[in-house]
């Protein structure tokens, strides 16, 4: 719908959106199976920014038989040492994590500490797509001492998921429990995992079906900007050759060339918008430059055709050819607009790769 008279339509900015029919990542993770959930946590932990801007030196998935109650082992350094790593425990249930879910896992953890299967970690993270349930949350929030007392009561008196297990609470296991601060049991919120995972933008977008949506391009200014000088000078050479007498910028308004030059500038700015979009979405990659390479390969046979005798012939034939190119290999192809590919021709001129007048 066009804006009302006297108003200005707000310019749309480039953003990331879910593909049509795709639900948000926070909902998609509920559909992952337990293996996929562990893989997701693994990828997220690898991207996590630790205090000081560092990352884990080693992140390994150990889920399954023999994992010793540690699905993901994330080390601060190369060696697995006491207080030098974090344990991520993946719990993908149909409801929030309960005491009966958590206590058996904690018992397994303390038994492995007593057996010296691995040293004490800094933190033990519960990773649950449906979060820690309200009752367990309240227990964890009540403080380390109260949490520990509730856990030991359940184990000694064989309730809350610990039926028939009192004999496992040996002196060595009790020592491991006493050596661990229960404040180190932490819920790892889903939004944190998603934020860490999103630091690998390509993998995050691929997993969750997120695509970039191109915003509005900047309008073409009335007066040319400095970065237009090269391709505009080349177009003025085209007009000079065509007219057989010098044509300068001041000669263009009102002349036969005004419409032609304006159209070329408009396509240049279309491609300029695509270049800006590329830099916003792929800041570490040369996607626009790769597209220019594809366009150059596609239009080069046209530019060098012997039947094209003048610069005007070459401009028009090449721009027409560019508009028909198939560039699906480019990651930018889903966001192409009508003037983008013709406009890349002038970006190639700006880069010194094309000339219209021999």
Alpha helices in the chain (DSSP H): 25-28, 34-47, 99-115, 134-141, 144-156, 171-178, 190-197, 201-208, 229-243, 258-281, 287-303, 311-324, 340-350
Q: What is the pLDDT of residue 209?
A: 84
Q: What is the mean pLDDT of residues 45-74?
A: 92
Q: What is the pLDDT of residue 20?
A: 47
Helix, strand, coil shares, percent, the chain, to 5: 50, 10, 40
Contact assessment for residue 55 and residue 74, using Cβ atoms and an 8 Å cutoff = no
Q: What is the pLDDT of residue 293?
A: 98
- Residue 28 pLDDT exceeds 80: yes
- Residue 5 pLDDT exceeds 60: no
135, 199: one domain: yes
Q: Which is higher by pLDDT, 285 or 50?
A: 50
Q: Is residue 162 part of a domain?
A: yes
48, 197: one domain: yes
Q: Helix 229-243 to helix 340-350 angle, to the nearest 10 degrees?
A: 90
pLDDT band at 2 (very low <50, low <70, confident <90, very high): very low
Rounded distance, CA 84 to CA 23, Å?
38
- Residue 35 pLDDT exceeds 80: yes
Q: Is residue 71 part of a domain?
A: yes
Q: What is the mean pLDDT of residues 344-355?
A: 97
Strand partners, 83: none
- Residue 123 pLDDT exceeds 60: yes
159, 37: one domain: yes
Contact assessment for residue 169 and residue 104, using Cβ atoms and an 8 Å cutoff = no
- Residue 19 pLDDT exceeds 70: no
Phi-psi label, residue 160: left if phi above 0, alpha if psi -120 to 50, beta otherwise = left
Q: What is the pLDDT of residue 11?
A: 63
113, 43: one domain: yes
Q: Is residue 296 part of a domain?
A: yes
221, 312: one domain: yes
Q: Is residue 1 part of a domain?
A: no
164, 21: one domain: yes
Rounded distance, CA 355 to CA 227, Å?
17
Rounded distance, CA 129 to CA 127, Å?
7
57, 20: one domain: yes
152, 68: one domain: yes
Q: Is residue 39 part of a domain?
A: yes
pLDDT band at 206 (very low <50, low <70, confident <90, very high): confident
Q: What is the chain's Cα-based Rg? A: 31
- Residue 262 pLDDT exceeds 80: yes
Q: What is the pLDDT of residue 188?
A: 98
Which of 173, 188, 208 delimits the end of a domain?
208
Which of 208, 232, 258 delimits the end of a domain?
208
Instruction: Give the position of tokens 């028939």.
Output: 164
Q: What is the pLDDT of residue 173?
A: 98
CATH number where 151 lies: 3.40.91
178, 221: one domain: no
Rounded distance, CA 354 to CA 348, Å?
6
264, 178: one domain: no
pLDDT band at 36 (very low <50, low <70, confident <90, very high): very high
Strand partners, 60: 73
pLDDT band at 8 (very low <50, low <70, confident <90, very high): low
Q: Which is higher by pLDDT, 158 or 25?
A: 158
- Residue 253 pLDDT exceeds 70: yes
Q: What is the pLDDT of residue 43?
A: 97
Rounded distance, CA 27 to CA 188, Å?
17
- Residue 4 pLDDT exceeds 60: no
Q: Which residues span the domain enclosing 159? A: 15-208
Task: Please choose, from the candidates 265, 186, 256, 282, the residue with its C-alpha nearest in 3D space to the C-alpha of residue 224.
Answer: 265
Strand partners, 61: 72
What's the whole-model pTM score?
0.67
Q: What is the pLDDT of residue 1?
A: 40
227, 180: one domain: no
Q: For the chain, what is the mean pLDDT?
A: 93
Q: What is the mean pLDDT of residues 1-11?
A: 50
For 170-199, the pLDDT digits (tens) are 999 999 999 999 999 999 999 999 999 999
pLDDT band at 307 (very low <50, low <70, confident <90, very high): very high
Q: What is the pLDDT of residue 95?
A: 95
Q: Is residue 4 part of a domain?
A: no
Instruction: Classify strands 185-187 and 123-127 as parallel, antiparallel or unpaired.
Output: parallel
């Amino acid at each position: 719908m066009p804006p009302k008279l006297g108003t200005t339509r707000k310019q749309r900015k480039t953003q990331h959106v879910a593909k049509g029919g795709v639900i948000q990542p926070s909902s998609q993770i509920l559909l992952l199976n337990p293996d996929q959930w562990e893989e997701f946590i693994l990828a997220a932990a690898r991207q996590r920014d630790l205090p000081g801007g560092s990352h884990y030196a080693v992140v390994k998935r150990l889920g399954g038989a023999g994992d010793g109650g540690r699905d993901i082992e994330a080390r601060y350094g190369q060696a697995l040492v006491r207080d030098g790593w974090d344990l991520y425990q993946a719990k993908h249930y149909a409801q929030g994590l309960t005491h009966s879910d958590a206590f058996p896992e904690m018992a397994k953890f303390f038994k492995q500490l007593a057996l010296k299967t691995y040293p004490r970690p800094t933190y033990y993270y519960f990773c649950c797509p449906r979060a820690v349930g309200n009752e367990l949350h309240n227990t964890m929030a009540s403080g380390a001492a109260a949490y520990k007392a509730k856990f030991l009561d359940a184990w000694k008196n064989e309730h809350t998921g610990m039926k028939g297990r009192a004999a496992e609470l040996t002196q060595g296991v009790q020592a491991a429990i006493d050596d661990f601060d229960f404040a180190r049991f932490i819920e790892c919120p889903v939004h944190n995992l998603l934020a860490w995972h999103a630091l690998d933008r390509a993998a995050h977008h691929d997993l969750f079906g997120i695509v970039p949506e191109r915003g509005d391009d900047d309008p073409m200014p009335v007066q040319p900007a400095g970065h237009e000088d090269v391709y505009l000078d080349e177009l003025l050479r085209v007009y000079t050759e065509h007219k057989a007498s010098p044509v300068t910028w001041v000669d263009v308004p009102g002349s036969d060339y005004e419409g032609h030059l304006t159209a070329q500038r408009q396509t240049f700015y279309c491609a300029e918008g695509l270049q800006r979009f590329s830099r916003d979405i792929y800041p570490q990659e040369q996607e626009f430059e790769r597209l220019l390479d594809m366009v150059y390969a596609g239009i080069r046979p046209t530019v060098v055709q012997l039947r094209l005798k003048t610069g005007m012939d070459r401009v028009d034939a090449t721009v027409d050819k560019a508009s028909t190119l198939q560039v699906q290999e480019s990651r930018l192809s889903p966001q192409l607009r009508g003037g983008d590919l013709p406009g890349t021709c002038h970006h190639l001129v700006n880069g010194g790769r094309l000339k219209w007048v021999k």
